[in-house]
Amino acid sequence: MAQILPLTPANIRRAALALRAGELVAFPTETVYGLGADATSDQATAAIFAAKGRPSFNPLITHLPDLEAARRIVELSPQAERLGAQFWPGALSMVAKRREDCGLSRLVSAGLPTAAVRVPAHDGARDLLRAAGVPIAAPSANPSGAISPTSAAHVAAAFGDQIAIILDGGPCTLGLESTVIDMSTETPALLRAGGVTLEALEAALDMRLEVAQSDDVAPRSPGQMHSHYAPSRPLRMNARSANPGEALLGFGPAEDCAFNLSPSGDVRAAAANLFHALHLLDKPPWTGIAVMPVPKEGLGRAINDRLRRAAAIPASPLPRSQT
């Protein structure tokens, strides 16, 4: 069984040693809990794919303690430098060209010439990254396609018997994954809506951003498959009320909710509560989840993105060669 350890300096040192020894360590960030491994080790990163049941064509985000460390891994364009200076540490992952000498396992990039890099806005996470002294690949610590974890308990329920250490830093403050932006091409493109809003990125770059269509046959971001973040029960969006058996997941003033994401209608609070609520309601006696409308701008874009994928019917299983 995994050891669930409070985020103390001694435990951070212990977790850093485990990472350096090639083990998997789950750790908190401001967005969601990550399932970390030494990104320079083929064996350690392969263990992430195995534990998650993640298709090997879906690349991982590499976590670094600061912008300086990110520069050693990828080639940051002047625009990317600007985003790094403005939004890091924070909920932004930038896809950029791998440096020849970056040392990252090819598995991290799923064979692509690029890598996604992020500096998390979480002191404990950055302490761990510094102590580890190697770049850390970390997808969200959930089985591939399932609801993302925003607490150590969520991670333990999914991976308790597969990983060495879960660092417990309490609930994640932001609660939604980072925004993924492709800075490797001539025109930047938003690959995944997340904690940093499209509006903020457009203001920083002083341009309109292309938003990659996730349902493309060959998605620019391989992780943006249609069904994802999915509870095992059916989920329905833009509901006004629950059908028999359904849990009503509210937003704003509402009666008879099984859970309300934010009674006052605050999207920040709703983002922080979203995955917690989905974990909570994906249980008996409920047979489905009906979600009330959430505004579509700002952080609401990412919330609606996650809900749309959670509502999607899972695609038929992938051929074995791809998993």
| Contacting positions for ligand TXA (CB under 6 A) | 29, 31-32, 34, 58-61, 93, 95, 109, 112, 114-116, 118, 120, 138-140, 177-178, 180, 191-192, 221-224
- Cα(62)–Cα(84) distance, integer angstroms: 14
Q: Which residues of 277-314 are buried (b: 16+ CB within 10 A; e: fewer)?
A: bbbbbbeeebebbbbbebeeebbbbbbbbbbbbbbbee
Nearer to ligand TXA, 139 or 250 (CB): 139
Least separation in angstroms between residue 183's CB and ligand TXA is 10
Q: Choosing among ligand TXA, Mg ion, none, which partner's interface includes residue 269 (Cβ < 5 to 8 Å by kind)?
A: none
Binding segment for Mg ion among 93-101, 133-141, 179-187, 307-315 (CB under 5 A)? 133-141
The residue behind tokens 């600007």 is 82
Is residue 67 packed enough to be buried (19+ CB in 10 Å), middle (13-18) or exposed (0-12)?
middle
Q: Which is nearer to ligand TXA, 110 or 249 (CB)?
A: 110
* 41: contact with Mg ion by CB under 5 A: no
Return the number of the residue (251 or 275) whose C-beta is nearest Mg ion: 275
For 168, the 3-state DSSP assignment is: strand
CA 24: distance to chain centroid? 17
Cα 27 from Cα 185, distance rounded (Å): 31
Residue 136 carries which side chain, given as an amino acid letter?
A: I
Closest alpha carbon to 222 in 174, 182, 185, 194: 182
**Residue 60 binds which entry of ligand TXA, Mg ion, none, CB below 5-8 Å type-dependent:** ligand TXA
Task: Write down the least CB distance from residue 220 to ligand TXA, Å.
Answer: 6
Least distance to ligand TXA, CB of residue 34, Å = 3
Nearer to ligand TXA (CB atom), residue 180 or residue 270? 180
Rg (CA), the chain: 19
CB nearer to Mg ion: pick between 140 and 221: 140
Least separation in angstroms between residue 85's CB and Mg ion is: 26
Shortest distance, CB of residue 70 to ligand TXA, whole angstroms? 13
**What are the residues facing 97 on neighbouring strands?**
75, 114
Q: Which of 93, 140, 214, 304 binds Mg ion (CB under 5 A)?
A: 140
Residues 6 or more apart whose CB falls under 8 angstroms from that of 68 comprise none
Nearer to Mg ion, 140 or 150 (CB): 140
- Identify the burial level of 153 via C-beta atoms within 10 angstroms of its C-beta, where 0-12 means exposed, 13-18 middle and 19 or more buried: middle
Residue 193's binding partner among ligand TXA, Mg ion, none (Cβ under 5 to 8 angstroms by kind) is none
Nearer to ligand TXA, 61 or 242 (CB): 61
Q: Which does 61 bind (CB under 5 to 8 A by kind): ligand TXA, Mg ion, none?
A: ligand TXA
Q: Binding partner of residue 214 among ligand TXA, Mg ion, none, CB under 5 to 8 Å per kind?
A: none
Select from Mg ion, ligand TXA, none the partner in contact with residue 289, using the beta carbon and a kind-dependent cut-off of 5 to 8 Å: none
C-alpha–C-alpha distance, residues 61 and 81, integer Å: 18
C-alpha distance from residue 103 to each of 15, 41, 62 (Å): 21, 9, 12
Q: Which is nearer to Mg ion, 70 or 225 (CB)?
A: 225
User: Which residues lie near Mg ion (CB under 5 A)?
Assistant: 140
